[in-house]
Structure 1
Amino acid sequence: MTDLLRAIEIDRPARIAFGPGQVAAIGPWARERDITRSLVIAGASNAARVELLGLPGEVTVFGAVKPEPDIPNLEAALAIAERTRPQLVVGFGGGSAMDLAKLVAVLPGSGQTLAEVVGPEKVARRSVALAQVATTSGTGSEAGSRALVTDPTSRNKLAVQSRHMVADLAVIDPDLTMSVPAAVTAATGVDALAHCAEAFTSRKAHPLIDLYALEGIRLVGRFLARAVADGSDREARAGLALASLYGGFCLGPVNTTAGHAVAYPLGTRHHVAHGLACAVIFPHTLAFNASAMPEKTALVLDALGLGGARDALAAAHGYCTALGIEMRLSRLGVPEDDLPAMATEAHAIRRLLDNNPREMSREQILEIYRAAL
């Protein structure tokens, strides 16, 4: 069977508003729907600029989203939703805020607990409107149907996937990303790159998604270094925002592979920001999978402007280093004696590792951690 004969389903936000100034679209959109009570889910910095959304009526703000949200963080947001009973939930921020917004939109009043909806398509319904406003270019969560939250007891990420968590409106306004610092721009940009590259080389890869994946990689290759060098470069910011959106398109029907599985314990155990964790691991898993996907790996490198490189690890590692990303785990606070436990945890994330084009053992994951130390 060829890939073209394999069925695939894609869920997209009902409306996508992309481009400079499009944050102004959400207010009129809410008014058209007679929204008078909204709950905005944001981190502290975005909570301070909620007026940019122009929402009508009563607006409540949960402004305490953590960089790696956990169950207590979610429960605090859910408590506010239960009290205020919003008609509209807005995720305003990066992936953490948008992921929490998805869960806040579906859990209150549903009779379902978080534990009952973990996994694919277990959410019963959504009775409120959901809008996502991205302020970083990395996760693509504004376009997706997944939400991740960390269980502090097991230190594992719980993944919920549901069509009910796809936004009614997704706003991608690159002007909102202009203030993102260079280091965060670099790391989140490589996160978007990893979404596209992992989907492109996945066992589940599909021509319909390959289109977005390869173009997303090209956009990162063209614009990420520019945005890191000059955060006020509006064209570069717009290019990265589009790359992030395309990466989000890749996540629903195809999803990521070993790169994200190996990166997750860096965040859950040592609080390394998700984008940075993915950036550190990206060259290693790209190179690991090169023997299984030689043609597609060459296309990834070529799209990044690294065409002709014989050593995928050296080329991708050099690309990330040139962006100013700290690529050594030891300098990110990851102790060597924790690497075996991290490898065990990563190897257990079968929902991602089973997508990888090449089998990866626990020992091979441990070798990657040691090489990145």
Structure 2
Amino acid sequence: MLTSSSSITLIRPRAIEFGPGSVSKVGEWMAGRFQRILVVADAFNSKRVDLLGLSGKVTIFAEVRPEPDIPNLEALLAVAEAADPDLVIGFGGGSAMDLAKLAAVLPGSGCRITDVVGVERVPAKQAALVQVPTTSGTGSEAGTRALVTDPVTKNKLAVQSSHMLADLAVIDPELTLTLPAQVTAATGVDAMAHCVEAFTSRRAHVSIDMYAIEGVRLVGKYLKRAVVDGSDMEARSGLSLASLYGGYCLGPVNTTSGHAVAYPLGTRHHIAHGAANALIFPHTLAFNAPAVPEKTAEILSALNAPWHTSVFDAAYDFCHGLGCEMKLSQFAVPRSDLPAMADEAHAIRRLLDNNPRDMSRDDILTIYEAAY
């Protein structure tokens, strides 16, 4: 584990507005500064773009898909090329915000996504970028990474660059009041997983640990409340903050085995990312516990998850108690695909190499079998 004397680079959006009603800050911030605005949204959020208070010529791309793939990105880039925006706004969950990052840097650059996979390979920003999350899960508004699935290889392509950092991030918990209980649970677990995996990573750092464990604590305190009563504004605000803290964790530290093992569930079988994380979380937390016992105890304490019996049972009961589906077979994943999923997950070295305990391909297959 890294110590306080270890080197780390911390970056944040240039401005962050947080709190109920803060969505009005978007229009105030952009007024008189931009003429051509491109809003990147899913079908639902495209119908409430008026909340942003935009002026000028507004183009809306309303076709963001869950787990966006290269064709989805290319459709957006075609719209962006035609609109020539001087401001791009990501309005939605992580998928919308990730695509917005790429729409702010790729149009007019002559680059395709396959040219810029990796770290700091994108050209300079072509348009200003504002991120407005409508879920409390990914924390993408705070980061510099975008993920897009290659439909041929079924792998996630990760692009990371400081050019994709938001000029303004507006986190308004009121925008999350419409989330159904199931989505609230899944996205909340995703935020928690970002924090947990960063907290236990080989790259963990004290400057991030404080955000990570506080994010876990906020999820432990507020997620069940928001699932039970979606109108609970205190709970919604707590989860929005947990998601933001999870985003702080992703840049300098990032996730580990939980996300690596969960990714094939989304790329191969279109299971929502948060739901995949919830299903996998108890397995990877328990697997890693021998390597990081004290931090594991802190995590379960922060989640208010008693673990008199086992780490696995405590984590499983937490997710199951939120209404999350905890059996892989219930998602119609064929058992015959588990070996290929294990191969795919084990190849995600950018995450697994930072896991606190070495995880083999057979270990991953064992987790899939246990989760089935």
Report if TM-score (shorter chain) is over 0.5.
yes
Structure 1 partner of 2:150: 151
After superposition, residues 1-373 of structure 1 pair within 5 angstroms as 3-32=3-32, 34-373=33-372
Q: Is the 8 A contact 1:65 1:97 kept in 2?
A: yes
Does the 8 Å CA contact 2:188/2:219 hold for their aligned counterparts?
yes
Following TM superposition, the consecutive aligned residue runs of length 4 or more in structure 1 with deviations greater than 2 angstroms are 307-310
Contact kept in structure 1, 2:2 and 2:203, CA below 8 Å: no
> Contact conserved, 1:306 with 1:315, CA < 8 A, in 2?
yes
Q: Quote the Cα distance in structure 1 between the aligned partners of 2:278 and 2:27.
A: 35
Moved more, 309-318 or 349-358: 309-318
Deviations for 1:176-227, whole angstroms, at most 9, x for unmatched residues? 0001000000011000000000000000000000000000000000000000
Output the amino acid matched with 1:13. P
What secondary structure does 2:146 align onto?
A: strand
Equivalent AA in structure 1 for residue 145 of structure 2: R
CA–CA separation in structure 2 for the residues paired with 1:186 and 1:265: 20
CA distance in 2, matches of 1:138, 1:309: 29
Counterpart residue type for residue 134 of structure 2: T
Secondary structure in structure 2 of the residue aligned to 1:131: strand
Shift of 1:332: 1.1
Deviation at 1:228, TM superposition (A): 0.1
8 Å contact from structure 2 (residues 338, 368) kept in 1: yes
Q: Is the 8 A contact 2:70 2:148 kept in 1?
A: yes
SS in 2 for 1:175: helix
CA distance in 1, matches of 2:334, 2:319: 22
The amino acid of 1:317's aligned partner reads Y
> What is the CA–CA distance in structure 1 between the aligned matches of 2:327 and 2:123, rounded to whole Å?
43
1:124 offset after TM fit, Å?
2.2
Question: 1:322 Cα deviation (Å)?
Answer: 0.6
SS at match of 2:34: coil
CA RMSD for the aligned pairs? 0.9
Structure 2: which amino acid aligns with 1:313?
F
Q: Does the CA contact (< 8 Å) of 1:262 and 1:365 recur in 2?
A: yes
Offset at residue 238 of structure 1 (A): 0.3
Displacement of 1:2: 5.8
Structure 2 CA distance, aligned partners of 1:110 and 1:209?
Answer: 34
Q: Give the gaps of 5 or more residues in structure 1.
A: none
Tell me by how many angstroms 1:111 deviates: 2.3
Q: Secondary structure at the match of 2:194?
A: helix
How much does 1:28 deviate? 1.0
Cα distance in 1, alignment partners of residues 250 and 268 from structure 2: 24
The number of residue pairs the alignment matches comes to 372
CA contact (8 A) 1:301 1:309 kept: no
Higher deviation after alignment, 116-125 or 204-213: 116-125
Secondary structure, counterpart of 2:4 in structure 1? helix
Cα 1:2/1:54, change in 2 over 3 Å: closer
Cα deviation, 1:224-259, whole Å, max 9, x if unaligned, reads 000000000000000000000000000000000000
- CA distances 1:279-337 after superposition (whole Å, capped 9, x unpaired): 11011100000000000000000000124534110000001001011111100121111
CA contact (8 A) 1:89 1:104 kept: yes
Q: Distance in 2 between matches of 1:154 and 1:346?
A: 12
For 1:111 and 1:331, the matched residues in 2 are separated by: 43
Q: In 2, are the aligned partners of 1:227 and 1:236 still within 8 Å (CA)?
A: yes
Contact preservation (8 Å) 2:107, 2:126: no
3-state SS, counterpart of residue 148 of structure 2: strand
Q: 1:10 is matched by which residue type in structure 2?
A: L
Q: Counterparts of 1:248 and 1:128 in 2: how far apart (Å)?
A: 22
Question: Helix, strand or coil for the counterpart of 1:44?
Answer: coil
Is the 1:69–1:149 Cα contact (8 Å) retained in structure 2?
yes
DSSP 3-state at the match of 1:21? coil
Could you give the per-residue CA deviations for residues 349-369 of structure 1, whole angstroms, max 9, x where no partner exists? 000000100000000000000
Q: C-alpha separation between the residues in 1 aligned to 2:269 and 2:255?
A: 21
Question: Aligned partners of 1:11, 1:162: CA distance in 2, in Å?
Answer: 11
Distance 1:2 1:229 in 2: 38
Letter of the 2:329 partner, please give it.
S
C-alpha change, 1:171 and 1:309, in structure 2 (3 Å) is farther
Q: Shift in Å at residue 123 of structure 1?
A: 1.2
Amino acid at match of 1:79: A
| 1:23 maps to amino acid | V
- The answer on whether the counterparts of 1:298 and 1:307 sit within 8 Å (CA) in structure 2 is no
Contact between 2:2 and 2:204, CA under 8 Å: does it hold in 1?
A: no
Deviations 1:87-130 (A, max 9, x none): 10000000000000000100001122211110111112102100
CA distance in 2, matches of 1:109, 1:228: 43
Q: Which amino acid aligns with 1:11?
A: I
Contact 1:126 1:164 in 2 (8 A): yes
